Structure 1
Amino acid sequence: MRITGIRATPVAVPYRSPEVWAFGRRRGQVSVLIEVDTDDGVTGLGEAAAYPSADIVLAVLRGLEPLVLGEDPFAVERLVRRIELVGTWHHVKATSPAIAAVEMACWDILGKVCGQPLVNLFGGRFRERVECFYYVARAEPDDVAAEARLATKAGFGTCYLKVGSDDPRTDIERVAALRDGAGPDARLRIDANEAWSPGTAVRLIRELERFDLELMEQPVSGRNLDEMAYVRGRVGVPILANEASWTRYDQLAVIKAGAADVLSVDNQMDGGLANLKRAAGLCEAAGLPVVKHSLGELGVALAAAVHVIASTPNFRYANQAYGALLADDVTSGFGGGLESYADGCMEVPSGPGLGVALDPDRVARYAELYRTEGASFSFGDPQALARAHALPKL
């Protein structure tokens, strides 16, 4: 079997409400869907988040074609090393989502030919379902409380909230509203996206401890592990590394520095599902749990990650996913909308390969939306542009 072509389709799918973070907002998810064709007629599905943009993902895919066409999709390790070394694409993070999408499609082909769900190719089911958190898009405190109540009603055990406002009092009010809406038993995860200096982080985290936080995600720069270790040693909330830990090499450095209690791992930023499994194993050897980070994904990429997470023991916390925030999806019955979750968990697809199929009508609809309105789906906020944009904010 040989690869004969790569087809790429950028799509834009709206969110129920805008996603807001420390430096901007976006109205929905842009992803590049790929289909890898073979001379045996088997097609594999993959998905790349539009990071840092869909244009860059599409350009990388065009650059990968000479390295991929004519190759054996079963030889996943050989193909990825060919891309990284012969193609000199190794360890360049902006290219990783496109590489990961090709690797994902090869795994889908392998599973389809073997007649096995991907989870069985990655070690078999350690768990039957994969827990995800409920993403509370940052808003006014009343809106935060209402979303948290919806999350609890829908059965989610963990709520996730962005902080990092220009005024820390706003963050405290927002976290208080989150606890009030979610109730006393919910787990709360807070993400500052590197917005704080070490001193501010220690002061604010200590003030937020009264809300019984599960994890504090990336409170300070991910580029200064000494700062992370400083904060970790002075607060009572476990620290989750995110921007500091997007690749296996970064995770090794975080472990050596003692900079985090939990690490994010990300197949799209680390170039593939096999690397996601490796990253989790590296952290397990250090005695640390992991969570899946997401740049935003639709049902194809979510299904792929769910298979690997279900086969890997140390994913012990709820994982990041965008399904509860999405208004729709491009797959048939998987990924987008609250109805895709049961008690905050995703079922592991049982079909061969990824176990999901594209819905042609939805793909066409959201490809057209990308063509006509794609620019408005990127992170952008006129108010944020008008303010000082530097890290740390406080």
Structure 2
Amino acid sequence: MRITGIKATPVAVPYRHEEHWAFGRRLGCVSVLIELTTDDGIVGVGEAAAYPSADIVLAVLDSIKSLVIGEDPFSIERLVRRIELVGTWHHVRATSPAIAAVEMACWDIVGKSCAQPLVNLLGGRFRDRVECFYYVAAGSPDDVASEAELATRTGFGTCYLKVGSDNPHLDIDRVEASRAGAGPEAKLRIDANEAWSPGSAVRMIRELGRFGLELVEQPVSGRNLSEMAYVRNRSEVPLLANEASWTRSDQLAVIRAGAADAVSVDNQLDGGLLNVKRSAGLCEAAGLPVVKHSLGELGIALAAAVHTIAATPNFTYANQAYGALLSDDVTVGFGGGIDSYDEGCLPVPTKPGLGVTLDQDRIERYARLYRTRGSEFAFTDSAATKQSRALPKF
């Protein structure tokens, strides 16, 4: 079997609420859906987060096309190494989601050819369903409390909230509101996206710790591991590395520096699903749990992640997904809004490959939305581009 073509379709799906983080916002999720065709007639699907933009993802796909077409989709290790070495992507630390999408589509082809769900090809089920957190959209404290209450009412056990705003008192008010809305039993995780200096991080974590935090994600720069270790050694709340741990090389450095209590991993930023398995093994050897990170995803990429997590023991925390924010999806019955989740969990698909069915009408609808309004959904916030920002904020 040989790969004969790559088709790429950018789509934009609106959020229920704007997504805000330390230095920007998004109105929706932009993904590039890909289809790998083969000479056997089997089509594999994949998905790339539009990071840093859909145009860049499309350019990467075009640049690696000659390295992919004509290759055997079963030879995934060979194909990815061909892209990394012949294509010189090994010089780029965080690789493009485009490469991960090609690898994902190859796994879909392999699963369909073998009539097996992907989880069975990645080691078999360690768990039957995968827990995700509820992404509480940042807003007024009243809005945050309402969203956190909805999270608990719909069965989610973990709430995730962005902090790192320009006003630290607003962060405190929002975290307090999230705890009030979610109730005393819910787990509460915050993410500062590198917004704090080490001293400020220690002070903020001590202040926010009274609300019973589960994890604090990337409170300081991910580029200075000694800062992370400094904060970790002074914090009673476990630290989760994210911007510091986008690749296996980064994760190894985090482990060596003693900079985190848990490690965020992302197949989109480190070349594919096999590398997530490698990341998890690396962290397991160091006695650390791993958490799936997301740049924003629809049902295709989410299904791929669920298969991988289900086959990997040390994903012991709730993982990042966008069900609480998404208004819709491009698949039938998987991903999308919070109605797809049962007690905050997603089932492992049982059909061959990724096990998802695409909804062509919705793909066309959201492809049209991308063509007409795609810039409104980009990672780059047009309002923020008019400002000169600096990190840490204080």
* TM-score bucket (shorter structure): over 0.9
CA contact under 8 A between 2:27 and 2:376: conserved in structure 1? Answer: yes
Match of 1:390 in 2: 390
Shift of 1:387: 4.4
Contact 1:189 1:217 survives alignment (8 Å): yes
SS in 2 for 1:252: helix
Identify the residue that residue 297 of structure 1 maps to in structure 2.
Answer: 297
How do 1:49-68 and structure 2 match up within 5 A? 49-68=49-68
Closer, same or farther: CA 132–318 of 1 in aligned 2, 3 Å: same
Distance (Å, rounded) in 2 between the aligned partners of 1:388 and 1:160: 27
User: What is the match of residue 203 of structure 1?
Assistant: 203
Opposite residue 374 of structure 1, the aligned amino acid is G
Letter in 2 for 1:26: R
1: distance between equivalents of 2:363 and 2:381? 27
1:319 aligns to what? 319
- 1:106 is aligned to 106
- 2:127 is matched with which residue? 127
Shift of 1:296: 0.6
Residue 183 of structure 2: aligned partner = 183
Q: Does 1:212 align with 2:212?
A: yes
Contact 1:11 1:370 (8 Å CA) reproduced: yes
**What is the aligned partner in structure 2 of residue 97 from structure 1?**
97
Pairs within 5 Å for 1:349-388: 349-381=349-381, 384-388=384-388
SS in 1 for 2:335: coil
2:96/2:268 contact within 8 Å kept: yes
Shift of residue 87, structure 1, vs aligned partner: 1.3
Classify the secondary structure of the residue corresponding to 2:127.
Answer: coil
Q: Provide the C-alpha distance between the structure 1 equivalents of 2:347 and 2:341, rounded to a whole number of angstroms.
A: 8
- Say what the alpha-carbon RMSD is for the aligned residues: 1.0
What's the offset of the Cα at 1:381?
Answer: 4.3
Q: Does the 8 Å CA contact 1:45/1:105 hold for their aligned counterparts?
A: yes
CA distance in 2: counterparts of 1:127 and 1:366, whole angstroms: 33
* 1:69–1:379 Cα change, 3 Å: closer
Structure 2: runs of 5 or more not aligned:
none
Mapped to 2, the partners of 1:198 and 1:388 lie a distance apart of 22
Matched residues in 2 for 1:13 and 1:85: separation?
A: 34
Closer/same/farther in 2, CA of residues 274 and 380 from structure 1, 3 Å limit: closer
In the alignment, is the contact (CA less than 8 A) between 1:51 and 1:94 conserved in 2? no
Deviation of 1:16 after TM superposition, in Å, equals 0.5
Counterparts of 1:161 and 1:91, CA distance in 2: 34
- Give the aligned partner of residue 335 of structure 1: 335
Tell whether the 8 Å contact from 1:198 to 1:231 is kept in structure 2 after alignment: yes
SS in structure 2 at match of 1:90: helix
Q: Is the 8 A contact 1:13 1:327 kept in 2?
A: yes
| d(CA) in 2 for partners of 1:381, 1:108 | 34
Partners of 2:250 and 2:94 in 1: CA distance? 15
Counterpart Cα distance in 2 of 1:50 and 1:137: 20
* 2:228 counterpart of 1:236: no
Mapped contact 1:10–1:31 kept (Cα < 8 A)? yes
The residue number in structure 2 matching 1:40 is 40
Question: 3-state SS of the aligned residue for 1:177?
Answer: helix
1:143 match: secondary structure: helix
The residue matched to 2:89 in structure 1 has which SS? coil
**CA shift for structure 1 position 229:** 0.1
Matched, 1:158 2:185: no
Helix, strand or coil for the counterpart of 2:41?
coil
Contact 1:60 1:95 in 2 (8 A): no
Separation (CA, whole Å) in 2 of partners of 1:174 and 1:194? 18
How many Å separate the matches in 1 of 2:276 and 2:265? 6
Query: Offset of 1:378 from its aligned partner?
Result: 1.1
**What is the aligned length?**
394
8 Å Cα contact 1:52/1:94 also seen in 2: no
Secondary structure of 1:301's counterpart equals: helix
Aligned partner of residue 288 in structure 1, secondary structure: coil
Does structure 2 conserve the Cα–Cα contact (< 8 Å) formed by 1:57 and 1:95?
A: no
Which residue number in structure 2 is paired with residue 269 of structure 1? 269
TM-superposed CA distance for 1:238, in Å, is: 0.1
Q: Deviations over 1:33-89 (max 9, x none)?
A: 000000000000000000010000000000111001111000000000011011112
Q: Give the secondary structure class of the aligned counterpart of 1:328.
A: coil
Deviations 1:172-231 (A, max 9, x none): 000000000000000000000000000000001001110010000000000000000000
Structure 1 segments of 4+ aligned residues over 6 angstroms from their partners:
none
Q: CA deviation at 1:324?
A: 2.1
| Residue identity in the other structure for 2:30 | V
Structure 2 residue matching 1:321: 3-state secondary structure: coil
| Amino acid corresponding to residue 192 of structure 2 in structure 1 | A
Contact 2:53 2:379 in 1 (8 A): no
Query: Against the structure 1 CA distance between its residues 194 and 369, is the aligned structure 2 distance closer, same or farther, given a 3 Å change threshold?
Result: same
Contact residue 109 and residue 353 of structure 2 kept, 8 A: yes
Q: What SS does the aligned partner of 2:96 have?
A: helix
1:129 CA displacement: 0.4
The offset of 1:235, in angstroms, is 1.0
Q: Confirm or deny: 8 A CA contact 1:293 1:319 kept in the other structure.
A: yes
For 1:5 and 1:83, how far apart are their aligned partners in 2? Answer: 16
CA contact (8 A) 2:131 2:317 kept: yes
Shift of residue 24, structure 1, vs aligned partner: 1.2
| Alignment-mate amino acid for residue 158 of structure 1 | T
Shift of 1:137: 1.1
Counterpart for residue 280 of structure 1: 280
